[in-house]
Structure 1
Amino acid sequence: MTILLLAGTGDARRLAERLSGRDVVASIAGATREPAALPLPTRVGGFGGAAAFRDYLTEVGISAVLDATHPYAHRITERTATICAAQHIPYLQLLRPGWTPDTGDNWTEIASEEEAAAHIPLGATVFLGTGRQSLERFANLAGRFVICRQIDPPDGPFPLEDGMFLIGRPPFSVEDEIALFKARKVDWLVVKNAGGAASRTKLTAANRLQIPVLMLTRPPQGDWACVATIDEAIAWVDAL
């Protein structure tokens, strides 16, 4: 039995460590130029569409798929779940719970990046914790200074009217984030509700500095099998 682990997150890394030594192959999209190595055989790069993914499952002899991609990688998750169902391949998504506000948090939920401009006043400094993939969807934030943090150096100039890339590789402590927000005079924080303790440090920093947060809501969840913890995912693998 060969299991395909769709990776690219901290949860996937912890799963890979728990699954080391088993017949598991990991796959990462390759969005980061030099991803840290996983303790499993790993393929890097997209599959090339639905048909190519179906062919890969057959050619490699994949018996089950464990999806530990980012909670906002909904297109990959939906496509994978649909193809696995059609090919009668067991599929499970590991989806960590989203964040909920603590006392003192000032969060406003939005459904899309384009809605941010309706909440953030002109002249504000905005820190995007949403990654570079959706950066151009914030193009209507003209008149604000936009900071986008990413792991790799940029391939070109900043695509928005006024702003900058900030290079940094997580994890970041609460103290790191507080110092950064103070130094950059951040007025607003925009994030996806990714969940997890490691990424919450920027929210804790915003709470302490009383910085308002725009929280992008999660994509709709399908009816495929899903668990919230790594232990549950390992139990699913054990039961196959």
Structure 2
Amino acid sequence: MRVLLLGGTAEARALAAELNPDVTVVSSLAGRVPDPALPVGAVRIGGFGGVDGLRRWLRDEGVDAVVDATHPFAARITANAARACREEELPHVVLARPAWPPGDAIVVGSDVEAANVVARNHYARVFLTTGRSGSAAFAGVDAWFLIRAVTAPDDVELPPRHHLLLSRGPYRYADERKLLEEHRIDALVTKNSGGDMTRDKVTAAEDLGIPVIMVQRPGLPDDVRAVPTVADAAAWVRAL
């Protein structure tokens, strides 16, 4: 059996390890992050060329099923994979880690809406964790930003006053709380990525009474089957 695993997440790496060596897994990474954490087994890096390119690749490689374990905000590849699998009549599942409960967070639909909330409330020192591409929406906001990303933003306009913190999770509660306190943060902006690797920043902010602006994740395509855990995805593959 040959499975295409759309990855780049901790869950994707765990699933590749769980299925190895019983299933031939080809993990696909987008290639946007230099020196990515690699899963066990075969790996391909780069895009497919849209839906048609993905369909050709699936046929040429003799793929029997597709597991989409990409980031919850990787909406384009998720939509392309759903359509390609539907047209090729291939089994397909999305490993969608559960979203965080919003609690008292200010929930918004986009980075632009989050930037508007920051500007409207006159927050002065903002911890921005929406990824390197999401930083551009805040370029015109009059505030100081602590921007955390895995790699430096390329060709993206950043806020005039900022400090760029390059690091990769997981992050722990004590460190997140210390970071918020040391930088005198008065607002946290985050995407609702779900999972445990980055949740502690939200908990720390809540405990310190710091407002949280949370960008809600995009919905999944219609008629797509989704499972919440690595174990569920592995069971789905083995049941085919």
| TM-score, structure 1 as length reference | 0.92
Indicate the residue corresponding to 1:35 in structure 2.
36
**Residues 1-240 of structure 1: matches in 2 within 5 Å?**
1-21=1-21, 22-101=23-102, 106-120=104-118, 121-122=121-122, 124-140=124-140, 142-155=141-154, 159-222=158-221, 223-240=223-240
Q: CA contact under 8 A between 1:154 and 1:165: conserved in structure 2? A: no
The Cα of 1:154 is off from its aligned counterpart by: 4.9
- Structure 2 distance, partners of 1:19, 1:144, is 47
Q: Secondary structure at the match of 1:119?
A: helix
Deviation by residue 1:61-87 (Cα, 9 ceiling, x = unmatched): 111100000111111101110110011
Q: CA contact under 8 A between 2:133 and 2:156: conserved in structure 1? A: no
- Structure 2 distance, partners of 1:30, 1:157, is 18
Q: Which moved more, 1:130-139 or 1:38-47?
A: 130-139
Deviation by residue 1:95-154 (Cα, 9 ceiling, x = unmatched): 0111114xxx531100111112332233511111111122212334x2111222112245
- Structure 1 distance, partners of 2:135, 2:123, is 19
Q: CA contact under 8 A between 1:192 and 1:216: conserved in structure 2? A: yes
The CA RMSD over aligned residues, in Å, is 1.7
Deviation by residue 1:151-173 (Cα, 9 ceiling, x = unmatched): 22455686223223111121111
Q: CA contact under 8 A between 2:13 and 2:38: conserved in structure 1? A: no
Q: Secondary structure at the match of 1:13?
A: helix
Deviation by residue 1:187-219 (Cα, 9 ceiling, x = unmatched): 110111111122101111111211110111121
The Cα of 1:13 is off from its aligned counterpart by: 1.2
Gaps of 5+ in 1: none
Cα–Cα, structure 1 residues 123 and 230, in superposed 2: closer, same or farther, change >3 Å? closer
Q: Displaced runs of 4+ in structure 1, greater than 3 A?
A: 153-158
- Structure 1 distance, partners of 2:84, 2:205, is 41
Percent identity over the alignment?
Answer: 41
The Cα of 1:238 is off from its aligned counterpart by: 0.7
- Structure 2 distance, partners of 1:39, 1:79, is 25
Deviation by residue 1:23-43 (Cα, 9 ceiling, x = unmatched): 111011122100122111111
- Structure 2 distance, partners of 1:28, 1:14, is 14
Cα–Cα, structure 1 residues 187 and 215, in superposed 2: closer, same or farther, change >3 Å? same
- Structure 1 distance, partners of 2:150, 2:220, is 28
- Structure 2 distance, partners of 1:134, 1:232, is 31
Q: Count residues with an aligned counterpart.
A: 236
Cα–Cα, structure 1 residues 123 and 90, in superposed 2: closer, same or farther, change >3 Å? closer
Cα–Cα, structure 1 residues 152 and 118, in superposed 2: closer, same or farther, change >3 Å? closer
